[in-house]
Amino acid sequence: MHLTLRQLKVFETVARHLNYTRAARELFLTQPAVSMQVRQLEEALGVPLFEQLGKRIHLTEAGREALTYARAIHLQLDELETVLNHLKGLSGGRLRLSVASTANYFIPALLGEYSRRYPQVTISLEVTNRETLLRQLAENTVDLVIMGQPPDGLDVEAHAFMENRLVIVATPNHPLAREKRIPLTRLQDTVFLVREPGSGTRSAMERFFSEHGVRIKTGMEAGSNEAIKQGVQAGLGLGLLSRATIDQELTLKRLVVLDIRDLPIIRHWYVVHRRGKRLSAAAQAFKIFILKETHTATRDMQRSQGKSAKSRRH
Ligand code: PGA
């Protein structure tokens, strides 16, 4: 079958207008040129596509079939063009991502998968605390930010993609380690190790205790989750941390999560950018990727656990 995409395009236009003159006008062709293209297509297919009844032309049955396929072929070509443009935009592209220090416990695994999918993209990852993330968003120096709780007072687009549970951890030999359903009041005047000012975990912790009217004692202040975990293991006090940061310590039985009523604090992770920002193809692809991947993972997790948690935002 020797036909051309051009012939299909001309045929589709004539079929839409059921009029050669109007089709010719739309295609910037002469009317004889349009008729010739249609005739050549009819010859290639071996069937008439139009019939003349009085002054008007109509599609034949074969013409209606051919129209369905001509449209499908053009849709496929449009789709191919979109996909190729996307790929071209991604090759040599760069993703500038800034994440809260706590998010860095799960982001590298996601970046690994993203990078396998889009190997042409160069990734630059900065790991910092919430305060710096807010400044980077305000100064527009980053494509995407991963943070807990989107900023107030800044026009951003923020999509929640995963739960972030904050729990209280202690050493396995701590007196509270074996107790169940511990009331929060038992923590009154207990020493806690706290993250640095500017940390999202720290502000969520402060809000939580003040809302529940519990006063804690601040022990060591540390600039990272790792330092808090080390301090707790060394017996310097309790720690309130994201559950995402303590997988290894729980497996190795170096830390335990205390069973406290009103906990965990349930927050969420958000992928955030300034509203109206023209995201690069690489950044756009990452945003779609993270929303889709984590949605699937969360759904699978909930299915296997058969339950969903009570929600408490901080
Ligand atoms: P961070 O985490 O404590 O590492 O700043 C951010 C957040 O939980 O909001």
Mean pLDDT (the chain, rounded): 89
Compute, in angstroms, the gap from residue 99 CA to the centroid of ligand 1: 9
Q: What is the pLDDT of residue 145?
A: 96
Which of 137, 147, 269 to mutate to test ligand 1, by most ligand atoms within 8 A of the CB atom?
A: 147
Ligand 1, residue 202: give the atom nearest the CA. 3
Give how far Cα 256 sits from Cα of 126, 227, 241, Å. Answer: 30, 16, 12
Ligand 1, residue 130: give the atom nearest the CA. 5
Average pLDDT over residues 266-284: 90
Which of 98, 101, 102, 313 to mutate to test ligand 1, by most ligand atoms within 8 A of the CB atom?
A: 102
pLDDT tens sequence across 213-235: 999 999 999 999 999 999 999 99
Q: Measured between alpha carbons, how far is 189 from 209 in angstroms, rounded to an integer?
A: 11
DSSP for the chain reads ----HHHHHHHHHHHHHT-HHHHHHHHT--HHHHHHHHHHHHHHHTS--EEEETTEEEE-HHHHHHHHHHHHHHHHHHHHHHHHHHHHHHTT-EEEEEEEGGGGGTHHHHHHHHHHH-TT-EEEEEEE-HHHHHHHHHHT--SEEEEESPPTTS-EEEEEEEEEEEEEEE-TTSTTTT-SSB-GGGGTT-EEEEEPTT-HHHHHHHHHHHHTT---EEEEEESSHHHHHHHHHTTS-EEEEEGGG-HHHHHTTS-EE--BTT-SEEEEEEEEEETT----HHHHHHHHHHHHHHHHHHHHHHHHHT--------
Q: What is the pLDDT of residue 140?
A: 84
Q: What is the pLDDT of residue 309?
A: 39
Q: Measured between alpha carbons, how far is 3 from 12 in angstroms, rounded to an integer?
A: 14
CA-proximal residue: ligand 1, atom 6 (nearest): 200
Q: Most confidently modeled of 90-94, 195-199, 238-242? A: 238-242
Q: What is the pLDDT of residue 82?
A: 65
Compute, in angstroms, the gap from residue 108 CA to the centroid of ligand 1: 16
Compute, in angstroms, the gap from residue 35 CA to the centroid of ligand 1: 68
Residue 306 has pLDDT above 70, yes or no: no
pLDDT tens sequence across 13-51: 999 999 999 999 888 889 999 999 999 999 999 999 999
Ligand 1, residue 149: give the atom nearest the CA. 9
Residue 78 has pLDDT above 80, yes or no: no
Q: How many CB atoms lie within 10 A of CB 101?
A: 23
Q: What is the pLDDT of residue 296?
A: 54
Compute, in angstroms, the gap from residue 241 CA to the centroid of ligand 1: 10
Nearest CA-CA partner of 128 in 146, 111, 109: 146
Residues touching ligand 1 (Cβ under 6 Å) are 100-102, 129-130, 147-149, 195, 199-201
Q: Is 18 left (phi over 0), alpha (psi -120 to 50) or beta?
A: left
Nearest CA-CA partner of 108 in 272, 250, 244: 244
Q: Measured between alpha carbons, how far is 209 from 2 in angstroms, rounded to an integer?
A: 77
pLDDT tens sequence across 252-262: 999 999 999 99
